[in-house]
């Protein structure tokens, strides 16, 4: 199988205003050699839709984080998503508050509810497969994720509705198309013509459909908020947002819908892609499936057969496999994206001017042998072994850094610093549950005689699992 490092194409470096500038072919924009990153202070890359992008090594992140007023993740994110025209609100203050204060603390009490939702989605989503059957798995995983996420975002009134599933799925597609169309326009003419782009108009229509879909539910939920006690209210994100909307000037139902849509846009596709990547890898490693299955089975035996949060946390080998899958198949090529709003002077004397976008190349970090020995090799037990070593040495803190949801300058798939994904514990729990239900019910393998994992598809700064591929599945006798 071709490694990530081998996909790198030519790189030419020049000097511009005292900063090392690397020009890379579009297909390899973020596949920057770890060796190069560790030996240079900065690299500037041209990127579609942006003026100047400066790639910074991880060692500078902590230093830059000491001056938060000089950098803005919000401006960078809004610029990337063309928010002025797409109107996408990826992480509003009320949404962040609702996730951190309510959603994450609810995971323990709602783990069994999520498991039941996932179990039903898997049962309905995958064919019986009494014999080896080809299954186009990505669309089915996407539906499972949408339904099970929706249960905790909008509740049981909508999450299994075909209208909801269709709206959420197509909203994400329309946003991606609109974003791409806007970035292809010269910035000077966007204010004049962007609103007339067919992709923007289609997105507007889709958003109006979402407003209509949510309208009656939001009205009913607002009525419930006024009339019912807290213990009688639905236990989901929509209700938590309604309860707190006055503190965030979100009295308009449209604001609530925009927040919901923004969250599904950022969360559902990344979760579905991670699960699909894991299945594509497992399909090439038959022996590993048995190891993972045993890990899951043992944890469930100790929890009375229930997918509790404690049971999921005890699946160390399973956790390690998923984390290694994320390391070797990152969905984004860069992380810690920030817009410079005040000039930054580095210890080296270099000055990064206002208006520049800073990014850290995730692939380079993930393939750095100094961080991950034999980094080009997929080792499903890499993080399990590290956690076991730390456990035996009594270093519980270090062991935490090697679990799936950890975030540091060495583990950046969830982001970095205060902008690390606030919902990563929810996503990790959902990923584990969907994969576990599939692994326990089915044997899987690749179609035909191939033993090579399906290649991911580069798309701008993304690297996505091929959504057209089949895997063979066969129902197990349980």
Same domain assignment for residues 446 and 456: yes
44 CB-near residues (< 8 Å, 6+ apart)? 16, 19, 20, 21, 22, 52, 53, 54, 55, 356
Which pLDDT score is estimated for 433? 97
Same domain assignment for residues 190 and 294: yes
Residue with tokens 């610029």, as numbered in its chain:
79
* Of 69, 441, 430, 433, nearest in space to 267 by CA: 430
Question: 169: which DSSP letter?
Answer: H
Which pLDDT score is estimated for 167? 94
Domain total for the chain? 2
399 CB-near residues (< 8 Å, 6+ apart)? 386, 387, 390, 391
Same domain assignment for residues 295 and 354: no
Report pLDDT digits (tens) over 3-62.
Answer: 323 322 332 332 333 333 333 333 344 444 444 444 445 544 444 444 577 787 777 777
Positions of E strands within 228-352: 334-340, 344-345, 351-352
Same domain assignment for residues 112 and 217: yes
Helices (H), 87-234: 93-98, 107-125, 137-153, 162-183, 190-193, 198-227
Pairing of strands 71-72, 43-45: unpaired
Indicate which CATH number applies to the domain containing 26: 3.30.43
The helix (H) or strand (E) run that includes residue 394 is none
Cα–Cα dist 34/31, whole Å: 9
Report pLDDT digits (tens) over 326-355.
Answer: 999 999 888 878 888 888 877 777 788 888
Same domain assignment for residues 161 and 277: yes
Q: What residues does 472 pair with on adjacent strands? A: 134, 445
Q: Which long-range contacts (CB under 8 A, 24 or more apart) does 177-181 make?
A: 177/202, 177/203, 178/82, 178/85, 178/86, 178/202, 178/203, 179/80, 179/81, 179/82, 179/86, 180/460
Which pLDDT score is estimated for 51? 53
Same domain assignment for residues 366 and 376: no
Same domain assignment for residues 57 and 199: no
Structure pTM?
0.89
Same domain assignment for residues 304 and 315: yes
Same domain assignment for residues 14 and 108: no
Indicate which CATH number applies to the domain containing 286: 1.10.630.10
Same domain assignment for residues 81 and 38: no
Same domain assignment for residues 337 and 453: no
Same domain assignment for residues 442 and 349: no
Domain boundary among 318, 344, 370: 370
Which residues of the chain, if any, have pLDDT below 70?
A: 1-51, 68, 250-251
Q: What residue numbers bound the domain in which 28 lies? A: 1-66+333-370
Which pLDDT score is estimated for 15? 31
């Amino acid at each position: 199988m071709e490694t990530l490092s081998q996909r790198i194409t030519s790189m030419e470096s020049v000097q511009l205003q005292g900063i090392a500038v690397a020009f890379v072919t579009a297909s390899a924009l973020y596949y920057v050699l770890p060796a190069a990153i560790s030996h240079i202070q900065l690299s500037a890359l041209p990127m579609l839709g942006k003026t100047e992008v400066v790639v910074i090594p991880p060692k500078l992140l902590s230093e830059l984080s000491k001056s938060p007023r000089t950098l803005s993740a919000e401006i960078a994110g809004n610029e990337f998503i063309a928010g002025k025209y797409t109107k996408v609100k990826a992480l509003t203050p009320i949404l962040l508050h609702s996730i951190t204060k309510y959603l994450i603390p609810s995971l323990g009490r709602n783990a069994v509810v999520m498991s039941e939702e996932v179990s039903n989605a898997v049962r309905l989503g995958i064919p019986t497969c009494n014999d080896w059957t080809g299954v186009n798995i990505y669309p089915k995983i996407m539906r499972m994720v949408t339904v099970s996420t929706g249960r905790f975002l909008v509740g049981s009134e909508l999450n299994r509705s075909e209208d909801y599933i269709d709206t959420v799925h197509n909203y994400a597609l329309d946003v991606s198309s609109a974003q791409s169309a806007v970035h292809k326009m010269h910035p000077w003419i966007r204010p004049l013509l962007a609103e007339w782009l067919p992709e923007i108009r289609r997105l507007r229509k889709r958003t109006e459909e979402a407003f209509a879909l949510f309208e009656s539910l939001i009205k009913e939920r607002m009525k419930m908020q006024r009339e019912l006690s807290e213990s009688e209210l639905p236990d989901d994100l929509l209700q938590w947002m309604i309860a707190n909307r006055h503190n965030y000037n979100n009295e308009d139902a449209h604001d609530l819908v925009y927040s919901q849509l923004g969250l599904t846009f950022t969360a559902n596709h990344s979760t579905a892609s991670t699960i699909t990547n894991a299945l594509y890898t497992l399909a090439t490693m038959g022996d590993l499936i048995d190891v993972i299955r045993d890990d899951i089975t043992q944890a469930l035996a100790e929890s009375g057969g229930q997918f509790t949060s404690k049971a999921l946390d005890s699946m160390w080998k399973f956790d390690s496999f998923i984390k290694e899958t994320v390391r070797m198949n990152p969905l984004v090529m860069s992380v810690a994206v920030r817009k410079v709003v005040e000039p930054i002077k580095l210890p080296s004397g270099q000055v990064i001017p206002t208006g520049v976008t800073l990014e850290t190349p995730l692939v380079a970090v993930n393939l750095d042998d100094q961080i991950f020995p034999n980094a080009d090799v997929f080792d499903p037990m890499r993080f399990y072994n590290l956690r076991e070593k730390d456990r035996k040495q009594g270093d519980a803190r270090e062991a935490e850094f090697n679990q799936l949801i950890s975030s540091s300058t060495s583990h950046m798939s969830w982001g970095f610093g205060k902008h690390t994904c606030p919902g990563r514990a929810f996503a990790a729990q959902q990923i584990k549950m969907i994969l576990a239900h599939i692994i326990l019910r089915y044997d899987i393998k690749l179609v035909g005689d191939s033993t090579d994992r399906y290649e991911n598809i580069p798309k701008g700064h993304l690297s996505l699992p091929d959504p057209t591929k089949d895997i063979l599945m066969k129902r197990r006798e349980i």
